Amino acid sequence: MGEERRGMMRGYKKLRVWQDAKNLYVLTWKVFKKFPVELSRIRSQQLASVDSVHRNISEGYCRRSLKEYIQHLNIALGSLGESASSLDVYESAQHISQAKFDEMDLLAWKLENGLKNWLKAFRKRIRRSGAILFLSKKPTRFTPRHPTVFSPKIQPSANPLIRIFYEYFRGNHRQ
Protein backbone atom coordinates (compact mmCIF):
# COMPACT_ATOMS: atom_id res chain seq x y z
CA MET A 1 0.00 0.00 0.00
CA GLY A 2 2.85 2.37 0.76
CA GLU A 3 4.39 1.98 -2.69
CA GLU A 4 4.60 5.04 -4.88
CA ARG A 5 2.30 5.08 -7.89
CA ARG A 6 4.11 6.12 -11.02
CA GLY A 7 3.24 6.71 -14.61
CA MET A 8 2.72 9.39 -17.18
CA MET A 9 -0.49 10.52 -15.55
CA ARG A 10 1.32 11.36 -12.31
CA GLY A 11 4.49 12.97 -13.66
CA TYR A 12 3.02 16.45 -13.19
CA LYS A 13 3.64 16.05 -9.45
CA LYS A 14 7.34 16.62 -10.12
CA LEU A 15 6.69 20.00 -11.73
CA ARG A 16 7.61 22.93 -9.52
CA VAL A 17 4.65 24.94 -10.85
CA TRP A 18 2.22 22.17 -9.85
CA GLN A 19 3.77 21.94 -6.38
CA ASP A 20 3.52 25.72 -5.97
CA ALA A 21 -0.11 25.64 -7.13
CA LYS A 22 -0.87 22.91 -4.61
CA ASN A 23 0.80 24.91 -1.83
CA LEU A 24 -1.19 28.00 -2.81
CA TYR A 25 -4.43 26.01 -2.59
CA VAL A 26 -3.55 24.64 0.85
CA LEU A 27 -2.62 28.10 2.12
CA THR A 28 -5.78 29.62 0.62
CA TRP A 29 -7.91 26.96 2.31
CA LYS A 30 -6.28 27.64 5.68
CA VAL A 31 -7.00 31.36 5.40
CA PHE A 32 -10.48 31.24 3.83
CA LYS A 33 -11.96 28.38 5.86
CA LYS A 34 -12.23 30.79 8.80
CA PHE A 35 -14.46 33.18 6.87
CA PRO A 36 -17.90 33.81 8.40
CA VAL A 37 -21.02 32.42 6.75
CA GLU A 38 -21.86 35.83 5.24
CA LEU A 39 -18.68 35.61 3.18
CA SER A 40 -19.12 31.99 2.09
CA ARG A 41 -19.63 33.04 -1.55
CA ILE A 42 -16.29 34.88 -1.53
CA ARG A 43 -14.60 31.85 0.04
CA SER A 44 -16.13 29.55 -2.55
CA GLN A 45 -15.06 31.72 -5.50
CA GLN A 46 -11.52 32.14 -4.20
CA LEU A 47 -11.08 28.43 -3.59
CA ALA A 48 -12.49 27.63 -7.05
CA SER A 49 -10.07 29.97 -8.83
CA VAL A 50 -7.05 28.66 -6.90
CA ASP A 51 -8.22 25.06 -7.36
CA SER A 52 -8.41 25.62 -11.11
CA VAL A 53 -4.69 26.42 -11.28
CA HIS A 54 -3.30 23.06 -10.16
CA ARG A 55 -6.08 21.19 -11.98
CA ASN A 56 -5.27 22.82 -15.32
CA ILE A 57 -1.54 22.22 -14.92
CA SER A 58 -2.13 18.52 -14.30
CA GLU A 59 -4.82 18.16 -16.97
CA GLY A 60 -2.63 19.83 -19.59
CA TYR A 61 0.28 17.59 -18.65
CA CYS A 62 -1.83 14.48 -19.17
CA ARG A 63 -3.12 15.58 -22.59
CA ARG A 64 -1.69 14.02 -25.74
CA SER A 65 -1.13 17.24 -27.61
CA LEU A 66 1.39 20.00 -27.02
CA LYS A 67 -1.19 22.54 -28.19
CA GLU A 68 -3.61 21.40 -25.47
CA TYR A 69 -0.84 21.42 -22.86
CA ILE A 70 0.04 25.02 -23.66
CA GLN A 71 -3.66 25.95 -23.70
CA HIS A 72 -4.17 24.48 -20.22
CA LEU A 73 -1.10 26.29 -18.89
CA ASN A 74 -2.58 29.54 -20.21
CA ILE A 75 -5.90 28.75 -18.52
CA ALA A 76 -4.03 28.08 -15.26
CA LEU A 77 -2.31 31.46 -15.64
CA GLY A 78 -5.71 33.13 -16.16
CA SER A 79 -7.16 31.46 -13.06
CA LEU A 80 -4.13 32.59 -11.09
CA GLY A 81 -4.70 36.16 -12.28
CA GLU A 82 -8.32 35.97 -11.11
CA SER A 83 -7.19 34.70 -7.73
CA ALA A 84 -4.46 37.35 -7.31
CA SER A 85 -6.89 40.13 -8.23
CA SER A 86 -9.39 38.84 -5.68
CA LEU A 87 -6.74 38.67 -2.97
CA ASP A 88 -5.89 42.31 -3.55
CA VAL A 89 -9.54 43.32 -3.22
CA TYR A 90 -10.09 41.16 -0.11
CA GLU A 91 -7.06 42.68 1.56
CA SER A 92 -8.26 46.21 0.73
CA ALA A 93 -11.69 45.37 2.18
CA GLN A 94 -9.93 43.96 5.28
CA HIS A 95 -11.36 40.47 4.80
CA ILE A 96 -7.82 39.12 5.15
CA SER A 97 -4.86 40.49 7.11
CA GLN A 98 -1.88 42.18 5.49
CA ALA A 99 0.39 39.34 6.66
CA LYS A 100 -1.80 36.61 5.09
CA PHE A 101 -2.16 38.67 1.93
CA ASP A 102 1.61 39.06 1.65
CA GLU A 103 2.16 35.34 2.17
CA MET A 104 -0.40 34.30 -0.47
CA ASP A 105 0.58 37.08 -2.88
CA LEU A 106 4.25 36.07 -2.74
CA LEU A 107 3.39 32.45 -3.52
CA ALA A 108 1.03 33.54 -6.33
CA TRP A 109 3.79 35.77 -7.76
CA LYS A 110 6.28 32.89 -7.68
CA LEU A 111 3.74 30.61 -9.38
CA GLU A 112 2.89 33.23 -12.00
CA ASN A 113 6.54 33.66 -12.93
CA GLY A 114 7.02 29.89 -13.03
CA LEU A 115 4.09 29.45 -15.41
CA LYS A 116 5.24 32.32 -17.64
CA ASN A 117 8.78 30.92 -17.79
CA TRP A 118 7.43 27.42 -18.53
CA LEU A 119 5.35 28.79 -21.43
CA LYS A 120 8.27 30.89 -22.67
CA ALA A 121 10.54 27.82 -22.67
CA PHE A 122 7.97 25.83 -24.67
CA ARG A 123 7.67 28.58 -27.26
CA LYS A 124 11.45 28.93 -27.53
CA ARG A 125 11.97 25.18 -28.01
CA ILE A 126 9.19 25.03 -30.58
CA ARG A 127 10.77 27.83 -32.59
CA ARG A 128 14.22 26.23 -32.41
CA SER A 129 12.96 22.88 -33.61
CA GLY A 130 11.11 24.32 -36.62
CA ALA A 131 8.05 22.44 -35.44
CA ILE A 132 4.71 22.56 -37.13
CA LEU A 133 1.92 23.32 -34.68
CA PHE A 134 -1.73 23.12 -35.44
CA LEU A 135 -2.81 26.22 -33.55
CA SER A 136 -5.57 26.91 -36.03
CA LYS A 137 -7.11 25.05 -38.94
CA LYS A 138 -4.03 25.93 -40.98
CA PRO A 139 -0.65 24.54 -39.89
CA THR A 140 1.92 27.17 -38.99
CA ARG A 141 5.64 26.54 -39.33
CA PHE A 142 7.96 28.12 -36.82
CA THR A 143 11.47 28.36 -38.21
CA PRO A 144 14.58 29.29 -36.28
CA ARG A 145 16.25 32.57 -37.23
CA HIS A 146 19.52 30.75 -37.72
CA PRO A 147 19.02 27.26 -39.13
CA THR A 148 20.75 24.81 -36.83
CA VAL A 149 20.82 21.12 -36.23
CA PHE A 150 18.84 19.86 -33.24
CA SER A 151 20.88 20.87 -30.23
CA PRO A 152 21.94 17.98 -27.98
CA LYS A 153 21.76 20.43 -25.07
CA ILE A 154 17.97 20.50 -25.34
CA GLN A 155 16.85 17.38 -23.56
CA PRO A 156 13.34 15.99 -23.98
CA SER A 157 11.09 16.32 -20.98
CA ALA A 158 10.00 13.48 -18.72
CA ASN A 159 6.56 13.98 -20.24
CA PRO A 160 6.12 11.24 -22.89
CA LEU A 161 4.12 13.61 -25.07
CA ILE A 162 6.96 16.10 -25.27
CA ARG A 163 9.50 13.28 -25.69
CA ILE A 164 7.52 12.00 -28.70
CA PHE A 165 7.35 15.56 -30.04
CA TYR A 166 11.14 15.93 -29.90
CA GLU A 167 11.80 12.48 -31.31
CA TYR A 168 9.53 13.28 -34.23
CA PHE A 169 11.32 16.50 -35.07
CA ARG A 170 14.75 14.98 -34.60
CA GLY A 171 13.85 12.62 -37.44
CA ASN A 172 13.50 9.48 -35.33
CA HIS A 173 9.86 8.98 -36.27
CA ARG A 174 8.25 6.18 -38.25
CA GLN A 175 6.55 7.07 -41.48
154 lies in a domain?
yes
**Per-residue pLDDT tens over the stretch 5-41:** 665 567 889 899 999 999 999 999 999 998 888 899 9
At residue 115, the pLDDT reads 95
3 lies in a domain?
no
2 lies in a domain?
no
At residue 170, the pLDDT reads 55
97 lies in a domain?
yes
For residue 89, what is the domain's CATH number? Answer: 1.20.1440.60
Separation of alpha carbons 95 and 36, rounded Å: 10
43 lies in a domain?
yes
Query: Which sign, positive or negative, has the C-alpha torsion 31, 21, 89, 99?
Result: positive
Number of structural domains in the chain = 1
Judge whether residue 50 has pLDDT over 90.
Answer: yes
Separation of alpha carbons 130 and 162, rounded Å: 15
Secondary structure element (H or E) that encloses residue 140, with its range: strand 140-141
In contact, 166 and 130? CB cutoff 8 Å: no
**Per-residue pLDDT tens over the stretch 79-109:** 999 999 999 999 999 999 999 999 999 999 9
3-class SS at 132? strand
Taking CA atoms, 88 is separated from 64, 65, 91, 131, 153, in Å, by 36, 35, 5, 40, 41
61 lies in a domain?
yes
As a whole number, the mean pLDDT across the chain is 79
117 lies in a domain?
yes
Domain containing residue 129: 8-170
Separation of alpha carbons 92 and 144, rounded Å: 47
Q: Residue 129 — pLDDT band, cuts 50, 70, 90?
A: confident
Q: Residue 146 — pLDDT band, cuts 50, 70, 90?
A: very low
120 lies in a domain?
yes
